[in-house]
Structure 1
Amino acid sequence: MPLNVVITMAGRGSRFYAAGYTVPKYEIMAHGRSLFDWSMLSLKNFLTPDARVVFVCLKENDSASYVRQRCDALGLRDVYVIELDQITDGQATSAYMSRECWLPTEPLLIYNIDTYVNPQVLKPDLVRLDSAGWVPCFQVPGEHWSFVELGEDGWAVDLAEKRRISNFASIGLYWFARADSFEQAYERFFADDNNLVRGERYIAPLYRQLISEGKKVSIADLPLDAIHVLGTPAELEAFLALDLSEQLIAAL
């Protein structure tokens, strides 16, 4: 089945530049691979030959040539690069701005360039039957995540940003059974400014719109040691300190 994959990478990476890095975050090398390649490796089981992959970039970063070169190396053929003139008010908006490239009736997967997940644990068959949305999670301490609360039947009953309503934190991947359902949910949910979080439009909370319409949202509970968040210099340093030899052998 065709799949829309949207990779949002439209930030400035200012924390890395402030820490002394001299290339865009996605080009930083770690364990012999760029952070871009680590992120894409996470999606190994989703990036089938018929996947349409859309990258949402910031024009000032001049990302297009690098993205296309790496996509060629990774064997991705149906690729679009959207370059935004300015930073948006959140990941949901960055993804929404690429909607003209989507196959509207096919599933949509939105991911970032900040996380590596061992692809052994991240597979399409984890999506629960009858799911209109799917949010793979891991159980991790802290308040700075997107959280999913489950009902007794295992379906999501609420999602929140930066508010710990459960132990299930999103890994940063968001799936919708149809791309046009994301588009419609975005327009309905964010028509109310009260649904912004600190002025930003996040993806996790807009699943509330699907739930309010009687649609089902599921999760997968992934092992903590399979998730490597790479969004800050400190997180990258922790990643660099790991021995990933066994994971790499299994993933390739």
Structure 2
Amino acid sequence: MKIIIPMAGRGSRLRPHTLTVPKPLIPIGGKPIVQRLAEDITKLADQKVDEIAFIIGDFGEEVEKQLIGIAEKLGAKGSIYKQDEPLGTAHAIWMAKDSLTGPVVVAFADTLFRANFHLDSNADGVVWVKQVEDPSAFGVVKLNDEGIIEDFVEKPKEFVSDLAIIGIYFFKDGDNLREEIRHIIENDIQGNGGEYQLTDALENMRSKGNKFKLGPVDEWMDCGNKDATVDTNSKILGFESQEFENIPSSAQIQNSLIIPPCFIGENVVIQNSKVGPNVSVGNGTKIVNSNIDNSLIQEKSSIVNGNLTGSMIGNHVDYKGVARNISLGDYSVLDFKE
């Protein structure tokens, strides 16, 4: 089985954090979003993963090496494909057409999940969905009386269904998917926003007799903006609390209280502070005289006199102050003077 992970988007809603780091490489509980996604699918799938293909923008050689390393750690071949223009979900997948063979999972790298990940071999595909209050912002599915999908609709203006597609799909025959996307692109069949949409390919496959079943989702965790990413970090820390029980020996914790669950990275220094619950602290960060909860702090930053909740701090940030809820990108300097 292969995993295809489109991740070429700019992540504009998560700025300033995505100005220097691609959104899928933002760490959640000490691991990049895309790494957690690949690990979850590999762990939960009942088929061996042979290849993980990443569809990226111009992210640079170091990012490509990091992605290849993620795949290899999971016992799979890593492949890199480029999408130079954001022309839709189907177009993104088309960039990896050489890897669209055999059983395939397609997973967009802006979401994490908790779900039953059984790959039903009696179905042509599985689409994981979550019930939402406002389906107009999502692709949705409509079911028949037997629980089989009878319609795929992208961002419906009128109510069709409240079962939103979370961006994870299984296809028993990746070759079939490839040919449907080829048909859409070669015939310039554009959907919402003038883009080539995966839901159009799915609807074509369904109309030709392919049967798609639902994959129920217990928890759908978005990483689209700062607040959603901080919330997802808190949920991951809670779900996997045993993973975060041990503080590394390289960390220096002095006259401080750590309230679990927390992720504490290597060479972290925490002095005269209270940290937690639901805080991730990246490698090499120093926290002094601070009170921090429900926040995500990345690597090699300095937090002094902080009183933070629901905050997201980037890499190499120098923060001195009392702001309560902030979002600071990489290399920012914030110094509140008395």
TM-score bin (small chain): 0.7 to 0.9
Larger helix share, 1 or 2: 1
Shift in Å at residue 195 of structure 1? 4.5
Q: Larger relative contact order (C-alpha < 8 A, sep ≥ 6)?
A: 1
Q: Is the 8 A contact 1:189 1:209 kept in 2?
A: no
Normalised TM-score (structure 2): 0.64
Q: How does 1:54-65 map to 2 (within 5 A)?
A: 54-62=53-61, 63-65=63-65
**Deviations 1:93-147 (CA, angstroms, capped at 9, x unpaired):** 1111211134x2x1121111111112xx23234x3x5322220111122221110
Aligned match of 1:122: 116
Aligned match of 2:127: 135
- Give, in whole Å, the separation in 2 of the partners of 1:4 and 1:94: 16
Q: Is the 8 A contact 1:158 1:208 kept in 2?
A: yes
- Give, in whole Å, the separation in 1 of the partners of 2:109 and 2:231: 17
Aligned match of 1:111: 107
Shift in Å at residue 21 of structure 1? 6.0
Aligned match of 2:192: 197
Gaps of 5+ in 1: none
Q: How does 1:49-128 map to 2 (within 5 A)?
A: 49-62=48-61, 63-72=63-72, 74-84=73-83, 86-102=84-100, 104=101, 106-118=102-114, 121-125=115-119, 127=120
Aligned match of 1:229: 222
Gaps of 5+ in 2: 244-338
User: Equivalent residue of 1:219, what SS?
Assistant: strand
Q: Is the 8 A contact 1:55 1:82 kept in 2?
A: yes
- Give, in whole Å, the separation in 1 of the partners of 2:180 and 2:18: 40
User: Equivalent residue of 1:26, what SS?
Assistant: helix
User: Equivalent residue of 1:42, what SS?
Assistant: helix
- Give, in whole Å, the separation in 2 of the partners of 1:190 and 1:75: 33
Q: Is the 8 A contact 2:11 2:18 kept in 1?
A: no
- Give, in whole Å, the separation in 1 of the partners of 2:203 and 2:235: 37
* Aligned length, in residue pairs: 238
Computing the radius of gyration over CA atoms, which structure comes out larger, 1 or 2? 2
Task: Please point out which of 103, 120, 141 is paired with 1:148.
Answer: 141
Indicate whether 1:28 and 2:26 are aligned. Answer: yes
Larger strand share, 1 or 2: 2
180-189 or 46-55: which moved more? 46-55
Residue identity in the other structure for 1:54: A
Task: Please point out which of 171, 178, 201 is paired with 1:183.
Answer: 178
- Give, in whole Å, the separation in 2 of the partners of 1:244 and 1:37: 15
Indicate whether 1:238 and 2:238 are aligned. Answer: no
11-20 or 29-38: which moved more? 11-20
User: Equivalent residue of 1:214, what SS?
Assistant: coil
Residue identity in the other structure for 2:85: I
CA RMSD between the two structures: 2.5
Residue identity in the other structure for 2:5: I
Q: Is the 8 A contact 2:87 2:195 kept in 1?
A: yes
**Deviations 1:131-167 (CA, angstroms, capped at 9, x unpaired):** 2222011112222111000011111110111114212
Q: Is the 8 A contact 1:7 1:55 kept in 2?
A: yes
Residue identity in the other structure for 1:165: V
Residue identity in the other structure for 1:78: K
Q: Is the 8 A contact 2:14 2:224 kept in 1?
A: no
